[in-house]
Chain A
Amino acid sequence: MIPLISLVIGAVVAILLHPTVPQNLTPYVAIAVVVAIDSAFGGFRSYLERTFNDRVFVLAFVTNAALAVFLVWVGDQLGVSDFSTAIVVVFGIRIFQNLAAIRRRVFGG
């Protein structure tokens, strides 16, 4: 419950403060957001499976986001600008897998 409330608080703060992401950083932030969403679903899944560990969750959240951003940056430097697509695909699949696991857990399917 607390994480959900915090999420809403963070969103409200962002709405109130009108932060602007610099144009040249948007691709990195976008990837970080996708990865973070995956981590959030993963955390919720492990919570339902009663294997939730806050240290692991936070660590996974931070390292996954950082690694994703780093990889996209490296891809840009190497001229492999589609690297972000690969990351989006991988994490998109993981999001759906997590969602499926959550669904099974909630509805017992």
Chain B
Amino acid sequence: MRTSLFGKILVAVVAALLGFVLVSQFRGQRRFSRQLQAESETDLARILSSLNTEADSLRDEIASLRLQLQDVQTSSRRDDAAAKSAQDQLMQLQVLSGTVPVHGPGVAVNVDDPERSLRYDALIDLVQELRDAGAEALAVNGQRVGAASAFSPQPGGIALDGSPLHAPYRVVAIGDPATLETGLQIRGGAVETLSAARGVHVAIERLPDTTLPALPRPPTLRAAHPVAS
């Protein structure tokens, strides 16, 4: 009788394998067939019909869930569209009110006024002219002109939203450059009016891409409230 260590290990491994396979086969066999084999024919028929009923009801459930899924998808698409249009509108309003920095093509109007012969209304006219010509965002000397901005006279010059502006004035407008330039150069328009003042020289410059800052502080509304719709 040989009993080497290797042999012992081998025998042990084989025995473990036997135990493993034995138990797994036991379980598999039990799960698959034992329950059904024990049933009588009528019971099997009953089980089959109940399984069929269950399958039918599950199929119904699948169909109704599919419908539900479709509904949810449709409504979520609608919500997405609404959110997107709201987002677009918000962006437009932000650009127009001047609360966000913007960039795009446009023109720069350089107004040199060495003799200080221009009054604040000249700049108002110029800005209005640019807006008429389709300017979407404006800045004067690097200061953004928003929806509620105002030019005002100031001792010795002009102020925009209370902060003084000094000549030469550089008015930058974002919009279609060709349209803006044409709008400025209309006979009897802003450029002609400005140039008529003493010592004033106006130069228009097209900008392929320029960036305008946001308003230093957003406008605060004290009196106006939206009407609830």
Interface of A toward B, CB cutoff 8 Å? 2-15, 18-21, 23, 26, 29-30, 32-33, 36-37, 40, 43, 50-55, 57-58, 61-62
Q: How far is the CA of A57 from the CA of B2 in the complex (A)?
A: 12
**Are A10 and B32 closer than 8 Å at their CB atoms?**
no
Quick one: which of A20, A37, A52 contacts B24, CB cutoff 8 A?
A20
Q: What range describes how many residues of B lie at the interface?
A: 20 to 34
Q: Is the interface of B mostly helix, strand, loop or mixed?
A: helix
How many A-B residue pairs have C-beta atoms within 8 angstroms? Tell me.
Answer: 107
**Structural contact, A37 and B10, CB atoms closer than 8 A:** no
A94 CB → nearest B CB, Å: 16
Specify which chain B residues have a CB less than 8 angstroms from the CB of A18 in the assembled complex. Answer: 27
Which residues from 1 to 34 on chain B have a C-beta closer than 8 Å to any C-beta of chain A?
1-4, 7-8, 10-25, 27-29, 32
- Report whether A11 and B15 are in contact in the complex, using a CB–CB cutoff of 8 Å: no
For chain A, what secondary structure do more than half of its interface residues adopt (helix, strand, loop), or is it mixed?
Answer: helix
Chain A residue with the shortest CB-CB distance to B19 = A10
Find chain A residues with CB under 8 A from B21 CB. Answer: 10, 14, 29, 32-33, 36
Query: B25: which A residues are within 8 A, CB to CB?
Result: 21, 26, 29-30, 33
Q: By the criterion CB–CB under 8 Å, are A3 and B20 in contact?
A: no
- Interfacial chain A residues near B10, Cβ < 8 Å: 54-55, 58
In the complex, are the beta carbons of A14 and B12 less than 8 A apart? no
- Report the separation of the CA atoms of residues A93 and B99 in the bound assembly, to the nearest whole angstrom: 96
User: What are the residues of chain B within 8 A of A2 when measuring CB–CB?
Assistant: 8, 11-12, 15
Contact status B29-A26, CB under 8 Å = yes
- Given A4-B15, A10-B18, A40-B15, A15 and B3 contact (CB-CB distance below 8 Å): no
- Given A6-B19, A10-B19, A21-B24, CB of A61 within 8 Å of CB of B14: yes
Among all A-B residue pairs, the 5 with the closest Cβ atoms: A10-B19, A54-B7, A10-B16, A14-B23, A11-B19
Q: Are B29 and A54 in contact (CB under 8 A)?
A: no
User: In whole Å, how far is B10's beta carbon from the nearest beta carbon of chain A?
Assistant: 5
A50 to B6, CA, bound (A): 19
